[in-house]
Amino acid sequence: MVSTTEKLATHRTPAISDLYRDVRARTMQIVAPLETEDYVIQTAEFMSPPRWHIGHTSWFFETLLQAHQPGYKVYSDEYLFYFNSYYEGFGERIARPKRGTRSRPTVRDTVAYRKHVDEQMLPFLEAIEQKRDAEKILSLVRLGLEHEMQHQELLVYDIKHLLADQFDAPIKPAPAASAKVAGMAEIEGGLFWLGHASQVQSPKSKVQSPESSVVSPESSVLSPNYDFAFDNEKPTHQVFLHDYALDRAPVSNGDFLAFIRDGGYQNFRWWFSEGWEAVNRETWRAPLYWELHDNQWLIRDFSGLHPAESKANEPVCHVSFFEASAFAKWAGKRLPTEAEWEKAAGYDHRTRERTNFPWGDTAPDLTQANLFENGLWAPAAIGAFPAGANAFGCHQMIGDVWEWTTSDYVPYPGFKSEFDEYNDKWFVNQKVLRGGSFATPQLHIRSTYRNFFHAHERWMTSGFRCAQDI
Ligand SMILES: [Fe+2]
């Protein structure tokens, strides 16, 4: 029998109803090991109870049914209130920090709501081609599925915060490091087409001379088997980069331990003013989930409590932008801009073409990147995915940990919102992260993907690699 994840891996863009079934099933696979009591607890203001995620992702599809299925009757006004996240356009909602303050709707009722939405959605999808605005509805369904994949990743963060190693995660054996990854890659600057080149939005007639090392949007249109990008990844536009160097590997726990042991958290000179305030206010002494026992740093993850030394060759995870920036300054480096990151992860300097991934255009498989389907539930050793390296020998840019960049999350020039209140209302005071993590589904990542979080946040799977001017 072919598993859900295998099907998703081999069929990049299956029929929408198959994709719907697979994505919806995976959410329930993730939460399956939880006990009923686990579903309703909120352990911090920034996390959400698992019950809320499974209801909210269904609410998203119910709003679609309300708008596009004639005669659809709302399941429950109370659910519309409880499961709305932040959408002003969909009415009143419970405050985010209060999601864990009520026991109703119960878990059983929430699962029944999910089932009800699926029972409405599947016949709706089967008949979608006959609808007048089929294309618009399909793009909303796809958005709903991408949204659900984002919540699958959030579920992993939130379950880790809730239970960590008490959660019975179905962890698969981790591959060993088979390549030595060291030093920095030197990458030539110049003009670069940043962002996702969708056929709809790319300019019509821009041809560059072959000598210019600039690829025109026509030749950089991403491979047709990769058919989705968020509006915030578009349009493709030219930016200028100076020559730069980029770490071939993410910063490791071993590297970060050296920073800690050098008094990095006690020395204001490495920190931005706001970062230093956060260090003192939150009494940060190490990344989240690091614990000091008998003067030894230990890292707690889904598999238990481990000496940090035993994970010295794995990417550091759960650091804020402030911590990443402080480390970079201490190391005599800096964080890359998102354009520098994207050029390394989505451009082949030999063919001068944009690519979907560091290794080319093929969809990620289990040997190229540590994503959700690998089932590791943790970052892997540096050098464990040589097949995923780029032409400069930069490893693990996709998967393992999201990588902080120094770039502000702002709209690209020429940005056009495709969905109200989805990405466009967050273009302030956040930083861009790139590349996906061990909690990101394979179908949900590409070199142009822009994730974003506030500079102090660190409960997500965030790490980084450094850059340098040359
Ligand atoms: Fe959401």
List pLDDT tens digits, range 219-232.
Answer: 333 333 357 999 99
Q: How far apart are the C-alpha atoms of 308 and 292, rounded to whole Å?
A: 10
**What's CA 206's distance to the chain center, in Å?**
32
- The answer to pTM > 0.95 is no
Q: Which two tokens stand for residue 361?
A: 């255009």
pLDDT at 14: 61
Residue 9 has pLDDT above 90, yes or no: no
In the three-class reduction of DSSP (H, G, I as helix; E, B as strand; rest coil), residue 244 is classed as strand
Give strand pairing partners of 240.
Answer: 191
What's the pLDDT band for 210 if we cut at 50, 70, 90?
A: very low
pLDDT at 226: 54
DSSP annotation of 44 reads S
Residue 203 has pLDDT above 50, yes or no: no
Give strand pairing partners of 293.
Answer: 296
Amino acid at 116: H
Question: In the chain, what percentage of residues exceed pLDDT 70?
Answer: 91
Q: Which two tokens stand for residue 468?
A: 């340098």
Give tens-digit pLDDT for 235-252: 999 999 999 999 999 999
Please classify residue 219 by burial: count the beta carbons closer than 10 Å to its beta carbon, then call 0-12 exposed, 13-18 middle and 19+ buried: middle
**C-alpha of residue 72 to centroid of ligand 1, in Å:** 22
Matching residue, tokens 């393992």: 400
Give tens-digit pLDDT for 360-376: 999 999 999 999 999 99
Q: Which residues contact 463 (CB under 8 A, 6 or more apart)?
A: 250, 251, 315, 316, 317, 319, 324, 379, 400, 401, 402, 403, 404
Q: How far apart are the C-alpha atoms of 208 and 59, rounded to whole Å?
A: 47
Q: How crowded is residue 138: how many other Cβ atoms within 10 Å of its Cβ?
A: 15
Matching residue, tokens 């093929």: 362
**C-alpha of residue 266 to centroid of ligand 1, in Å:** 37
pLDDT at 90: 86
Give tens-digit pLDDT for 62-77: 999 999 999 999 999 9
**C-alpha of residue 229 to centroid of ligand 1, in Å:** 17
**C-alpha of residue 46 to centroid of ligand 1, in Å:** 13
**C-alpha of residue 174 to centroid of ligand 1, in Å:** 31
Question: Mean pLDDT, to the nearest integer, of 307-327?
Answer: 98
**C-alpha of residue 56 to centroid of ligand 1, in Å:** 7
- Which stretch of DSSP H or E encloses residue 176? none
**C-alpha of residue 149 to centroid of ligand 1, in Å:** 10
Question: Mean pLDDT, to the nearest integer, of 317-343?
Answer: 98
CA angle (45, 50, 53) in 5-degree steps: 90
Q: How far apart are the C-alpha atoms of 236 and 229, rounded to whole Å?
A: 12
**C-alpha of residue 154 to centroid of ligand 1, in Å:** 10
Q: How far apart are the C-alpha atoms of 357 and 236, rounded to whole Å?
A: 16
pLDDT at 6: 44
Query: With contact defined as beta carbons under 8 Å apart, do 243 and 187 qualify?
Result: yes
